[in-house]
Amino acid sequence: MLRAMMNHYGKTLSHISTSPFNDWVQARLDDIYMPPNVQLMKQDKRSFMKTGSQITEYRNVFLTDGKLSRHTFIKGEAGSGKSTFLAKSVMDWCSANKTKSVEEVPTAQLKSADRDSRVQLTQFFKDISTPKSFNFIFHVTLRDSVRQFEILEMIKQQIIDTIYRKDDRENAYKLLNEIMKRERCLILLDGLDEWTGTGSHCLPALAASFSLCDILITTRPWKITQKCPTQKLTRCCN
């Protein structure tokens, strides 16, 4: 399953749309990626305030006081780079696991105008050993599962059903369930503001038996203010 997932990510996340009007207009992620200005937030009663502390390493996103965070939120306005950051995190995880799906971009192919800025950007999020510490990363686009509230079902629909034939899916579902119970996993949920869910669920739900899974959710600011109980948040970035 690991290799199949990394091949899947290589096909779906290595290129990103560069046009707000046409998803078919795409460019290689490595060619245009610019790390977002991510700042740590601190909780102030029922809201979060910027600390002014810029985050430049993965460990400061996924860890709190050296320990993995159960729920981490990255909030920002549309176009601020949230989705691209998740895609880059997944591709760095693939690269750290030496998948053949991830290819290095030869320096000679980079435009000279971009080269100097790329040298500076190599200082940001270099610690790919941090995402590698997760045995599996599951990337879910919430707008594609707007009426579902169980994260497991989202992963089945968006990942397992894509990489496995119908005849093989039942065994893959069982394997997925065991992986999420026994392995250290990171679940990336992109676009909470585009998700409606069902009933009174304010967040997608993860079964208690998946206690080794950590969750990172991206959203626009209004959603986290209106819909997310602060007691569920262990870490928030902007």
pLDDT at 19: 63
Residue linked to tokens 């948040």: 233
pLDDT at 5: 95
pLDDT at 126: 85
Domain spanning 2-13+39-100+125-237, CATH architecture: 3-Layer(aba) Sandwich (3.40)
Q: DSSP state, 177?
A: H
Q: How far apart are CA 163 and CA 83, in angstroms?
A: 22
Q: Where are the domains of the chain?
A: 2-13+39-100+125-237
- H or E element: which one contains 17? strand 15-17
Q: Which of 216, 198, 151, 139 is nearest to 177 (CA)?
A: 151
Residue ranges for the chain with pLDDT beneath 50: 99-119, 231-232
Q: How far apart are CA 68 and CA 36, in angstroms?
A: 22
- Whether residue 58 contacts residue 130, with contact meaning beta carbons closer than 8 Å, is answered with yes
pLDDT at 236: 57
Strand 213-219 and strand 26-28: the pairing is: unpaired
Structure tokens at 107: 């320096």
pLDDT at 109: 42
pLDDT at 20: 62
Tell me the DSSP string of 58-111: THHHHEETTEE-SEEEEE--TTSSHHHHHHHHHHHHHHHTT-TT-----GGGS-
Strand 26-28 and strand 15-17: the pairing is: antiparallel
